[in-house]
């Protein structure tokens, strides 16, 4: 196993358990404790974990985001449910925008049976996911590749996205809070979402239940920027009342 693969597995375990122990990881991955300590040193330097005696704990700072491939494996069933609901909102021939979130990848997987869609995105992973779909138009935003995210960002990405007008944009976020609106881990992601919102007739926020009540580093938008919220389970009543007051439709699985 490559060191990068092992570190990503350690990150997944940190996301699930919030802490890891050197001796347990050594046995789990069949490597020396010294190798595990080097892995944890690297994760600590990258700001993804905080070393502690005999192990490490997850860094839950709002300015830190896990690598894309690690986040993609989190709450897969919830994101699949979101993708299925979103697919029901898209019609053959629609022009849509998808952001560079992991949720957008599951949306892309769920809409492949649609016909003649035009998809504009700043996500490398979404483009790869849709690369085998025929008779669609897939448009890249352009921009600078952000390391570890499979996302195109920066002035060229903003300019590219702003060149189009679409029926619907689908975007996610890292945090969604009653007073702070929706937020993300850095300004570049927030800027891309803001442009998508301006370019779309209908704005759909697609988030799993873990994002509710959380505040991240960079402000991306407010309730006025959302027409529909799609999530994987029914939010608490205070959220449902807030959505009603802002004229926002909330969709979630009925089971």
Query: With helix as H, strand as E and coil as C, how does the chain read?
Result: CCHHHHHHHHHHHHHHHCEEEHHHHHHHHCCCHHHHHHHHHHHHHCCCEEEECCEEEECCCCCCCCCHHHHCCCCHHHHHHHHHHHHHHCCCCCEEEECCCHHHHHHHHHCCCCCCCEEEECEHHHHHHCCCCCCCEEEECCCEEECCCCEEECHHHHHHHCCCCEEEEEECCCEEECCCEEEECCHHHHHHHHHHHHHEEEEEEECCHHHECCCCCEEEECHHHCCEEECCCCCCHHHHHHHHHCCCEEECCCC
Per-residue pLDDT band for 1 (boundaries 50, 70, 90) equals confident
CA 62 to chain centre: 14
What is the pTM for the complete model shown? 0.81
The pLDDT score that the predictor gives to residue 63 is 52
- For 11, 59, 131, 161, 224, the CA distances from 182, given in Å and listed in that order, are 25, 21, 30, 20, 11
Q: What is the pLDDT of residues 37-87, one digit of tens each?
A: 999 998 888 778 888 889 998 876 645 565 555 555 567 899 999 999 999
pLDDT of residue 6: 87
Distances (CA, A) of 175 to 62, 69, 127, 211, 249: 9, 19, 25, 5, 19
What would the pLDDT profile of 191-246 be if each residue is shown by its tens digit?
A: 999 999 999 999 999 999 989 999 999 999 999 999 999 999 999 999 999 999 99
Phi/psi at 82 (5° precision) = -60, -45
3-60, which class in CATH?
mainly alpha
Parse the chain into domains and list their residue ranges. 3-60, 75-251
> Taking 80 as the threshold, does the pLDDT of residue 145 lie above it?
yes
In terms of pLDDT, which residue wins out, 18 or 130?
130
User: Is residue 120 a contact partner of residue 95, using CB atoms and an 8 Å limit?
Assistant: yes
**What's 75-251's CATH class?**
alpha beta
Interacting residues of 153 by C-beta distance below 8 A, sequence separation 6+: 100, 122, 143, 144, 146, 188, 189, 191, 192
Q: Could you give the percent of the chain with pLDDT greater than 90?
A: 74
Rounded to whole angstroms, the Cα distance separating 165 from 28 reads 50
């Amino acid at each position: 196993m490559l060191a990068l693969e092992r570190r990503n597995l350690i990150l997944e375990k940190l996301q699930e358990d919030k802490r890891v122990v050197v001796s347990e990881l050594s046995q789990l991955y069949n490597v020396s404790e010294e190798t595990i300590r080097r892995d944890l040193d690297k994760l600590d330097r990258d700001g993804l974990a905080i070393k502690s005696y005999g192990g490490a704990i997850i860094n839950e700072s709002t300015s830190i985001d896990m690598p894309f491939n690690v986040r993609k494996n989190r709450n897969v069933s919830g994101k699949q449910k979101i993708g299925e609901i979103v697919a029901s909102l898209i019609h053959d021939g629609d022009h849509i925008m998808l952001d560079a979130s992991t949720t957008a990848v599951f949306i892309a997987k769920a809409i492949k049976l649609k016909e003649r869609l035009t998809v504009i995105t700043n996500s490398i992973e979404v483009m790869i996911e849709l690369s085998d779909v025929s008779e669609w138009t897939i448009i890249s935003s352009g921009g600078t590749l952000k390391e570890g995210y499979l996302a195109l960002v920066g002035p060229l990405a903003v300019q590219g996205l702003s060149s189009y007008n679409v029926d619907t944009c689908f975007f996610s976020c890292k945090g969604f809070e009653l007073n702070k609106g929706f937020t993300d881990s850095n300004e570049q992601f927030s800027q891309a979402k803001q442009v998508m919102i301006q370019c779309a007739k209908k704005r759909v926020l697609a988030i799993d239940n873990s994002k509710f009540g959380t505040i991240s580093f960079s402000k991306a938008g407010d309730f006025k920027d959302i027409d529909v919220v799609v999530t994987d389970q029914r939010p608490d009543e205070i959220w449902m009342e807030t959505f009603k007051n802002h004229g926002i439709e909330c969709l979630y699985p009925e089971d």
